[in-house]
Amino acid sequence: MKHLYLFTMIYLIMFTANSQETITISGYDGTATTIDATSNVNQTITIVFEDADIVQNFYTENRASIFMYGGLDTDAGGFQGAPDFGDLSSQPELLLTDGDSATAPNTYNITINLAQFYSSIPNGTTVYGFNFLFQNEFGGGGNNQSADLYINLVDAPKDDTLGIASFNKNNFVSFIGNELVVSSASGDLDLSVYDNLGRAIKTLSIANSESGQKIDLGLQKGQIYIVKVNGETQSKTLKFISM
């Protein structure tokens, strides 16, 4: 019974730590909102925004997408790393998901890693939350933008390397999506896969690897993995978030 309890607790901790969080702002009515998250700045999250009145509070009628102006909340204040308010090309774009932009409500979403997107904030900076608002393509002001919104993240030092595939300079293998791609042939390959707590979860051997070969590791989506690849003449360690 004790072993079963311990296994259950480990499983729950792993599931909570690795699952991708969806943060939903539903029935937006023009008021400022704070949402408590279970993720920190380094974890990929999905933000869903539902505009209840698509004309008065925030004008999204017939808008296939909206833009998210925001920045990180640090000891230096809110909206750190935010781009110019009028530069829509530098702002994350949320796409309509309900298929009918002419009828309320309009729902939009985006999947984003805040640590990677706000790369101008130095790694090691403690991030407490995410300040943001939505705007349409008409430049903000009035009902062309939402009220200020805030996601209260779990406090953590920013570390944007969690989503970067490679620690080493050699590039004989890389990740594209969830597939390991062999860029240059290296004979037989031995792969070891670890979770973000450093526990080995899978090993795999590839005989006579070829340039351009794609290897599906069958990993669960929305989780952080470390993959060690040993070839006959090269080796590489990669860390990535499966998508």
213, part of any domain: yes
Q: Per-residue confidence at 162, pLDDT binned at 50, 70, 90?
A: low
Whole-model pTM: value is: 0.62
Q: Count of domains in the chain?
A: 2
**11 located within any domain:** no
Q: Are residues 94 and 176 in the same domain?
A: no
Is 95 a member of any domain?
yes
Q: How confident is the model at residue 10 (pLDDT cuts 50, 70, 90)?
A: very low
175 and 91 in a common domain: no
Least confident of 25-34, 37-46, 115-124, 198-207: 198-207
Which percentage of the chain shows pLDDT scores above 70? 84
Q: Count CB-CB contacts under 10 A for residue 34.
A: 10
pLDDT in tens, 181-210: 887 666 788 888 887 767 788 898 888 887
Statement: residue 170 has pLDDT above 60 = no
Q: Are residues 201 and 233 in the same domain?
A: yes
Q: Is residue 120 part of a domain?
A: yes
Residues 6 or more apart in contact with residue 173 via CB below 8 angstroms: 180, 181, 182, 183, 186, 189, 229, 236, 238
- Cα–Cα distance, 24 to 222 (Å, whole number): 17
Alpha-carbon distance of 26 to 52, in angstroms, equals 8
204 in Cβ contact with 126 (< 8 Å): no
Question: Domain of 93?
Answer: 20-160
Return mean pLDDT, the chain: 83
- Residue 215: helix, strand or coil by DSSP? strand
Measured CA to CA, the distance from residue 48 to residue 60 in angstroms comes to 14
Whether 22 shows a pLDDT value over 80: the answer reads yes
Phi, psi of 161 (to 5 degrees): -75, -15
CATH of the domain at 189: 2.60.40.3080
pLDDT at 19 over 70: no
Residue recorded with tokens 């970067």:
164
Answer yes or no: is pLDDT of 67 > 50. yes
d(CA 240, CA 243): 9
pLDDT of residue 179: 78
Reference 228, options 217, 214, 243, 212; nearest CA is: 217
